[in-house]
Structure 1
Amino acid sequence: MSKSKLISYFLLTLPFCYCNVQGQSNLIRAEQQKLLFVKDSISYINSINRLGMLYHMKNVDSSLYYGMKAKSIASRANYPKGKADADNVIASVLYIRGMYQKSLQLYTDALAAYQALRDTANVSEATMNIANVYLSLGDTTKGLELFRQVIRTGRRDSIMSLVYANYCMGNSALSDDSVQYYMSKIREIASIYKDHRVLIASKALEFDLLLKEGRRTHALKLLKSTLSEAQQYGLDDQEIFLLGDYTRYYENHPDSALHYAWQCYQLAKKKGYVLDLIPILNNVLSYTALSGNKDQIISVQTLLQAEMIEENEKLKKFVGDYIKYNTLQDDNVILSIVNKNNRVKILFLITICVVGIFLLLFIYRLYQNSRKHQRELEQLNLRILEQNKILQANDEFKSKLFSILAHDFRAPLAYTISIANLMKDNPESTKTEMEQFYGTIERQASGMLESFDTILQWIKQQLSGHQHQAEILVLYDLFRESADIVKQQLDVKKIKLSNQIPKHITATSDKEMLQFVNRNLLSNSIKYSPEGSTIVIGCTQDGNSITISVTDEGPGMDEQTLSKLFTISSPFGSSTQHGAGIALSMCKDFIQKLGGRIWAKNAVTKGAVFSYTIPLKI
């Protein structure tokens, strides 16, 4: 393998791994590990493309495999850049194998894709790779013109350092001053991007220039420091190349040249750079022949023959894989054309079927219309009847609402007005009397506000229903909260509240609905309880249900009141013992919506007991 060919191979890897100081083997292992955790298809395609390029100097079969796999997935995923990158990987493998025309075709396809994507960095890279192919084909004029095109149009990014390096290596007509100029460009750009590979490549160019100028001492010193730098960063491929430079440096000293040639071979063998083994062994053989040691010559020849046989087998396998790949590509193209034709036929048949279906639907629609008018007449009569029922129900609802408003607000308002008139007619009332008047007005206003809020909730319930919001409730805490709300009423009448519900009993139900019931039952009991009495809140659990009872020490109720207590037609006065008004009717509706029931009875001795049962879980 010639020096220029080896350098071209090296530079083809750089666009996929520049700005990285890891060795190629480390990069491969890191990428394979990363591939295990990639989830989305785009990242997966990018990763296997990168693996393909990393492998192409070590194992062209693996490189071809990853390139073909990436292209297949990218085509299915409709990912143009992934497909172009895969073409770049496959083209690089074909270039290494000497299949220049095929390589040129794929590089050209990749270039067109990058241009369509306006990917300037990859456009420069693809153009550079095409230039390298032309140089390998012997068309120096075309190759150098493409390099100059990239130099003129390329942006100042990391890829330009590679362009300058390849241009220097491929243009033997460059003057020493021109080489120095381009080397300064290479170092300037590579330093910005910390691209140690290209920096080492520029030093290899400088080594060649020093040898050309006869400055061998400086050349050897530079070569030694550059080799140390390559070893420091773990750049195995660079180290192999630099050991080859050592062999060239000592070409007039066969023993030293042979020593470095063997080192070069052993490193390439150890690191798996199989494509370099045969040209390196040829160097080993040429210097071994100068030594005149027949046994050593035979040993190297045997080793070279074994490597050539192995490489020949790999080449056969590669050609076979590539032929299979091309066959699959051709089959895919044919299959795509067949599928396209089939899709056209299917669309035509679907169109005919759709037209037929529309005709059938049109005929069926005419038939349906002929029957629709008859059904509409029947339904119209039914709707009229239903609307009459709704209107009647609305009238009844409005009548009840007016009755409620008249009953619940007329008496309190009249009483409040009479108090106000009394205050107006007695301006000389004492402070104590005025405070009593104010207190009475405040209590009347609070009562009317409470009644108004109750009626609004009832109307909302009747018109739109109530959505359950089930949650786990501690029943003891519910009555404690309700007691806090009615505390003023309890304190005014010095009533004691005994909450005997066990604190561990819970139910899954709607808190707001239950609290509405609890507050009304407590307020009702307070209203009819004598001063200084006790209200007892009890609880029993039976299977999957819980019964809550509120017992007061009031006068109790007669049978007629009990029978109509929870109906909307019951009396709604707030100052009589006849019924508890609309609130109790709402309590009944709420409890029924929660899956329970509510009732009332007189206590054994005196007072009334209001009870309700709800399920443990609605």
Structure 2
Amino acid sequence: MSRLKPILYLLLILPFYGGKAQGQSNLIRAEQQKLHFVKDSIDYVNSINRLGMLYHMKDVDSSLYYGMMAKDLASKLQYPKGKADADNVIASVLYIRGLYQESLQLYTEALSAYKVQKDTSNVSQVTMNIGNVYMSLGDTAKGLELFRQVMRTGRTDSIMSLVYANYCMSNSNLSDDSTQYYINKTRKIAASYKDYRVLIAVKELEFDLLLKKGHNTEALKLLGSTLAEARKYELDDQEIYLLSSYTTFYKNQPDSALHYAWRSYQLAKKKDYVLELIPILKNILSYTQLSGNKDQIISVQQLLESAMAEENEKLKKFVGDYIKYNTIQRDNTVLSLVNKNSKTKIVLLIAICVGGIFLLLFIYRLYQISRKHQRELEQLNLKVVEQNKTLQVNDEFKNKLFSILAHDFRTPLISTISIAGLMKDNPEFTKAEMEQFYGDIERQASGMLESFDTILQWIKQQLSGYQYKPEVLVLHDLFGESAAILKQQLDAKKVTFSNQIPVHITATSDKEMLQFVNRNLLSNAIKFSPEGGTIVISCGQDGNAITVSVADQGQGMDEQTISKLFSVSSNFGSSTQHGAGIALSMCKDFIQKLGGKIWAKNAAPNGAVFSYAIPSTV
């Protein structure tokens, strides 16, 4: 679960303005209004540079636009500081886009210019930003050394509050006491300049320190007061980061973490902090996956895909704008050197080649970033496809089940209607024939009733589930009750029912579930028993397990049939076997819910034995 880090971006903005805290949107509007009344060219360049830096968190394309405009005007005016400030803006945009090497090159150029101008404040600021680039490149030692280099100057101006804060945030090896030391120094300098934005960032560092020490109550209280302060000063970007801190605080409570992550996303979306949408959505997706809600996961994945696709398009536009800018700059350089001597022209050609190589490297770098986004989108699409496949498999199972049930009702109904029609159209039938027809209708109706009961049990199981009600059950009596219910079937086929379960054997289980299984096993044994056959019910006890067996004297089954007995399949067999398959699959499910297992095998010399084992006690 990632967490946003606001201080890094503060380092890029604050050197251009300080004092009374204002929301970034308000600062942008104020600077744009001021721009209309600026008459002096130098002031105009400075104002454009400020706009470029203010826009970098909300709209990097606008930030790049103002940076390039400021650099072009500063070059024409031969205004070195304006050009260095513009390089600083452009380098910051390249850094945000992940183009660290290109950013490092421009920062280095700006640093050299500030040193020539003896602008010590901006020397410290750019040195610090270069340190951030090295940290992002994974060279922690180099980055921290650059921070220490600035700290060794002993300066106490506003930039130093950011240096101490950044050093504190980036150095994971600091002890708690050292961390508190740098927090105090940051607060002291920021307070002296009434820099409320940094003061709020300091409180975030204190929040992290309190969490590290395990002072969760104090940390939560501090976070709440800091959030209220950020809202008071309309610091939208800080509010987004503070809501992210709530997500970190509630990382072990996914529902609460998701609540604050969504609030952070909604605020970023509302205030157009587009650069934060993707990391926030990745955070939301991580916590949503913990919930296991497939619909919500797919919804968040779609939002993330959309944000990444939009960001990818913006990246392509950014590349085009920057290449176009470089091309224009190069063309201007060429035009300015046309009238120089041949030696200068040779140097120009070399510079063009170098510029071309740089552009190729730049394009290749952007291509790598674009491919990375594309791979992430493909991975998300694969997840959605897999989830759709799972839903399709479930839907196919339901369709097969409905087809089987429809067939079980349709066949006996057609037969019953045919018999009734035959009786109606032929009144000359004898009494014996009529009685035979009545018997057929009665058997068909009984079969449909049994199927209907099976369906009701299935629906009850799938939709509402059974409430497990354990009670002490005498197994001998249970089969006696089942035999009484099926007495008509036993008598019709003259089947002998032999209940050999000892009367003293009891089990603590759910009667409704167990009787459903007993009735179905006994009913199937009657169906497949020959006329005048015998069905034997036996029982054995081994430790805490009781095994019950129902044996008939039918023809038995082949191995393929046995392998499919306890599952529903569209290829199971006849209509009768369809109904048996549904009932037996439910028997298996019920026995498993009771903590047991069920199986079947052929008996010697003929017949089949269906058995189940359940615990004797709960």
TM-score (norm. length: structure 2): 0.54
| Structure 1 position 339, deviation (Å) | 3.6
| Structure 1 position 337, deviation (Å) | 2.4
| Structure 1 position 288, deviation (Å) | 1.4
- For the 8 Å contact 1:4–1:169, the answer to whether it is kept is no
- For the 8 Å contact 2:285–2:300, the answer to whether it is kept is yes
Counterpart position of 1:35: 35
Cα deviation 1:243-284 (Å, max 9, x = unaligned): 000000001001100000000000000001000000001111
| Structure 1 position 5, deviation (Å) | 5.5
| Structure 1 position 340, deviation (Å) | 3.3
Counterpart of 2:37 in structure 1: which amino acid? F
Counterpart of 1:261 in structure 2: which amino acid? A
Counterpart position of 2:381: none
- Once the two structures are superposed, the pairs formed by residues 183-582 of structure 1 within 5 Å of their partners are 183-341=183-341
Change (3 A) 1:5 1:341: farther
Taking only aligned residues, the RMSD between alpha carbons, in angstroms, comes to 1.8
Counterpart position of 2:127: 127
- For the 8 Å contact 1:10–1:237, the answer to whether it is kept is no
| Structure 1 position 300, deviation (Å) | 1.1
Counterpart of 2:57 in structure 1: which amino acid? M
Distance (Å, rounded) in 2 between the aligned partners of 1:187 and 1:318? 37
- For the 8 Å contact 1:24–1:54, the answer to whether it is kept is yes
Distance (Å, rounded) in 1 between the aligned partners of 2:338 and 2:301? 54
Distance (Å, rounded) in 2 between the aligned partners of 1:330 and 1:5? 37
Distance (Å, rounded) in 1 between the aligned partners of 2:344 and 2:147? 46
Distance (Å, rounded) in 1 between the aligned partners of 2:134 and 2:8? 12
- For the 8 Å contact 2:16–2:50, the answer to whether it is kept is yes
| Structure 1 position 324, deviation (Å) | 1.5
Structure 1: 5+ residue stretches without partners:
346-618
Larger Rg: 1
Distance (Å, rounded) in 2 between the aligned partners of 1:83 and 1:15? 16
| Structure 1 position 290, deviation (Å) | 1.5
Distance (Å, rounded) in 1 between the aligned partners of 2:294 and 2:254? 15
- Relative contact order (C-alpha < 8 Å, sep 6+): which is higher? 2
Distance (Å, rounded) in 1 between the aligned partners of 2:155 and 2:78? 28
| Structure 1 position 204, deviation (Å) | 0.5
Structure 2: 5+ residue stretches without partners:
346-618
- For the 8 Å contact 1:120–1:154, the answer to whether it is kept is no
Distance (Å, rounded) in 2 between the aligned partners of 1:177 and 1:206? 12
Counterpart of 1:288 in structure 2: which amino acid? T
Distance (Å, rounded) in 1 between the aligned partners of 2:336 and 2:15? 33
Cα deviation 1:211-244 (Å, max 9, x = unaligned): 0000000000000000000000000000000000
- Once the two structures are superposed, the pairs formed by residues 109-148 of structure 1 within 5 Å of their partners are 109-148=109-148
| Structure 1 position 330, deviation (Å) | 2.5
Counterpart of 2:64 in structure 1: which amino acid? L
Distance (Å, rounded) in 2 between the aligned partners of 1:145 and 1:241? 27
SS of alignment partner, residue 74 of structure 1: helix
| Structure 1 position 342, deviation (Å) | 9.2
Matched, 1:47 2:51: no
- For the 8 Å contact 1:164–1:185, the answer to whether it is kept is yes
SS of alignment partner, residue 252 of structure 2: coil
SS of alignment partner, residue 340 of structure 1: coil
Does 330-339 or 320-329 show the bigger shift? Answer: 330-339
Distance (Å, rounded) in 1 between the aligned partners of 2:339 and 2:173? 54
Identity %, equivalent residues? 75
Number of aligned residue pairs: 345
Change (3 A) 1:288 1:226: same
SS of alignment partner, residue 56 of structure 1: helix
Counterpart of 1:84 in structure 2: which amino acid? A
Cα deviation 1:578-618 (Å, max 9, x = unaligned): xxxxxxxxxxxxxxxxxxxxxxxxxxxxxxxxxxxxxxxxx
Change (3 A) 1:300 1:156: same
| Structure 1 position 299, deviation (Å) | 1.2
| Structure 1 position 44, deviation (Å) | 0.4
| Structure 1 position 289, deviation (Å) | 1.5
- For the 8 Å contact 1:124–1:154, the answer to whether it is kept is no
- Once the two structures are superposed, the pairs formed by residues 35-184 of structure 1 within 5 Å of their partners are 35-184=35-184
Does 151-160 or 311-320 show the bigger shift? Answer: 151-160
Distance (Å, rounded) in 2 between the aligned partners of 1:17 and 1:69? 20
